[in-house]
Amino acid sequence: MTSQLFSPFELGSLRLENRIVVSPMCQYSAVDGSATDWHLIHLGNMALSGAALLIIEATAVEPQGRITPGCLGLYSDDNEAALRRVLEAVRGQSDMPIGIQIGHAGRKASSEPPWRGGQLIPADQGGWPPVAPSAVPMYPQEPAPLALDVAGIERIRDAFVASARRAAALGLDALELHCAHGYLLHEFLSPLSNHRDDRYGGSLDNRMRLPLEIFEAVRAVWPADRPLGVRISATDWVEGGWDLEQSVAFVHALKARGCDWIDGSSAGVSPQQKITLGPGYQVPFARQIRAETGITTLAVGLITEPQQAEAIIADGDADLIGLGRGLLWEPRWPWHAAATLGGQVRTAKQYWRSLERRATGVFKNMEFGMR
């Protein structure tokens, strides 16, 4: 019986060899937004994993939009040149398609990396003033972010467009807009963080306005033959916040504007969130969004076992599986899944000799002999 997880898939015009996607994972290891040797090692490792698509970590569209001082950016010539160096090296060893996620951290910007506690960095200690839809802090003990005026909104919209142009110039195969995890575009969507009384706040249509404007502006400059998707938080996990019903309405609007896929995550906008954790706990969001809108969906969140991922695809809950922490723990997860499910993956010929006898047939186009 053919594995559905290892069946090909068309993401827009991009042909994927299987349904496994390397989710964007922040590395907090850039210098002034520019990729470093760490990114070369990390992305090179992921590009040899056997997944079908690699999406580069959340990448800021302006310096103030970085989550931490070490976050990747694509807002300057130096940023673009540094990422080009990394991409050229990785592409020299792997033909895996590579995409990128672009976003703005909003009120969660100017923070320490997780291994330093993740707290807001004051301006007098090297931080910068975060911006947001409204002057509402993430945590009560934090100073309020600066509420964006219309000029600030227009600046950020233009920054998304400029970063998308740079991504296109780098030859990246796919682009994802970050509208999740409590960052700026999610902050505009959620009534918990958006208290505006102008055309960008209040009603659902108004709260969706800026994310949709940015999507339209990016779609206009991103090559038509390359897929463009959106990561959303399907729910805030807070009563009275953003929820799945509003997410479905948002996805309908995105699909009408040319969105190719939805990456269905959740949470991140409020410390009051009450998440029900468990294996595949976010898969129902992908399932309902797919069922109600017909859009391609990517399921994420505590998907750890090959049989679990296979069932998600086979049952029609989602079209693609996104793996993040699981691939950090086991970068060869797709190899093992292929061995378990009877699938095949593509990998570097230098690694062919690693094949165990019980996994014969896992590597595609393998011809290997030893004296």
Q: Catalytic amino acids?
A: 183
Q: Going by DSSP bridges, is the β-strand pair 320-323/20-22 parallel, antiparallel, or unpaired?
A: parallel
For residue 240, give every residue at least 6 positions away whose Cβ sits within 8 Å of its Cβ, in sequence order, or none.
191, 192
* Cβ atoms of 159 and 65 closer than 8 Å: yes
Taking CB atoms within 8 Å and a gap of at least 24, the contacts of 249-258 are: 249/204, 249/208, 250/189, 250/208, 250/211, 251/289, 251/293, 251/295, 252/293, 253/208, 253/212, 254/212, 254/215, 254/230, 254/295, 255/293, 255/294, 255/295, 257/212, 257/215, 257/216, 257/219, 258/219, 258/228
CA distances from 185 to 61, 241, 320, 328 (A): 12, 14, 23, 27
CA distance 21 to 333: 11
* Residue 144 structure tokens: 């309020």
Gyration radius of the chain's alpha carbons: 20
CA distance 172 to 87: 9
Phi, psi of 100 (to 5 degrees): -145, 150
Phi, psi of 114 (to 5 degrees): -55, -40
CB atoms within 10 A of CB 271: 9
* Cβ atoms of 21 and 9 closer than 8 Å: no
* Residue 358 structure tokens: 């019980």
Look-up of token digits 């969906």: 297
